[in-house]
Amino acid sequence: MIRPAPPLLVPPLLAPPLLSWSAASRRDLPWRRTRDPWAVLVSELMLQQTQVSRVVPLFEHFVRCFPTPAACARAAVSDVVRAWHGLGYNRRAVSLHRAATAVVERHDGRLPSELDALLGLPGVGAYTARAVLAFAFGRDVGVVDTNAGRVLARITGRRLGARQAQELATSLVPPGRGWAWNQAVLDLGATVCTRRAPRCGECPLSSLCGWRAGGLQEPDPAQGSAGSGSRQASFVGSDRQGRGRLVDALCRGPVPVDEVALVAGWPDDPARARRVRASIVADGLAVEADGVLTLP
């Protein structure tokens, strides 16, 4: 017989100390100065697996180049990829162009304000859709990424499944405070309740934290919990590094197919170069014709 998991025990009155802390320490980031749904979507896709410090200057440049979904949809994919250059994970640029096109075709050029419609856009997943709802439309929905998932697991003192984490995150949002609450939770996870060496002495929720009350015993409940993700493989020497080199070169001009191995950094491994070449073509980052690769 399978015993049901015990109910989540969430301490009351989390909102006052966390919102007070956030009001005094909230990070000033350019995407937090706008409620434009398109700009919020751009920022959220840029921030996936990318450090905030790298995103800030490129975000501002990108929204100047493509201030609306229609402007992005009208542009060539190659122009969008070039504007994205420097962020890595260039496939996200292609997804953003496809999302912009879908917004124009399905929603008259305006980001939809309903969850299902947002989830129907290319490249928009559960986190991104809810982030747009909270940060652009002010909806009282929980936003669960790596940082928020870590905070939730530690506060409850339990590893959380995806559905548990999402339901809990939404239930904790104070009515009418979706924007402020989620920004506070994300900042707490990013700057205080960090994966390594959490600074519990600086945490406004330390007296309410289930993990701390249990003596910070291992395993950390955030390990393997929803949203916490897994440790990223090393970039150096990876296929991602070769893809990045190849896309960087394509941003400067066409690359002959017989030079791909050299450009990708693997002159002695042509089989690997062929695999990477095929992957960027399949992802829509390049087209191949007459023995030459170019941006689409």
pLDDT digits (tens, 9 = 90+) for 107-146: 999 999 999 999 999 999 999 999 999 999 999 999 999 9
Section 44-72 average pLDDT:
94
Q: Which residue has the tokens 């960090």?
A: 194
Could you give phi then psi for residue 293, rounded to 5 degrees?
Answer: -100, 140
Q: How many whole angstroms separate alpha carbon 11 and alpha carbon 136?
A: 29
- Measure the N-to-C terminal CA separation of the chain; round to a whole number of Å: 57
Residues with Cβ < 8 Å from 68, sequence gap 6 or more? 38, 109
**CB–CB of 244/50 below 8 Å?**
no
Closest CA to 165 of 102, 233, 97, 225: 225
Report pLDDT for 6.
Answer: 53
Fold of 239-294: Arc Repressor Mutant, subunit A (1.10.10)
Selecting among 44, 114, 259, 288, the annotated active-site residue is: 44
Q: How many whole angstroms separate alpha carbon 202 and alpha carbon 206?
A: 8
Check whether domain 36-135 has CATH 3.20.20.70, yes or no: no
**CB–CB of 158/116 below 8 Å?**
no
DSSP, collapsed to helix, strand or coil, labels residue 121 as: coil
Strand order in the sheet with 255-256: 255-256, 292-294, 287-289
Q: Taking the domain 146-213, which CATH number applies?
A: 1.10.1670.10
% of the chain at pLDDT higher than 70? 92
Is it the case that residue 233 has pLDDT exceeding 60? no
Report pLDDT for 2.
Answer: 47
DSSP, collapsed to helix, strand or coil, labels residue 255 as: strand
Q: Any catalytic annotation for residue 44?
A: yes
Section 269-274 average pLDDT:
87
Section 185-190 average pLDDT:
96
Q: How many whole angstroms separate alpha carbon 250 and alpha carbon 269?
A: 20
pLDDT grade for 1, boundaries at 50, 70 and 90? very low
What are the domain boundaries of the chain? 36-135, 146-213, 239-294
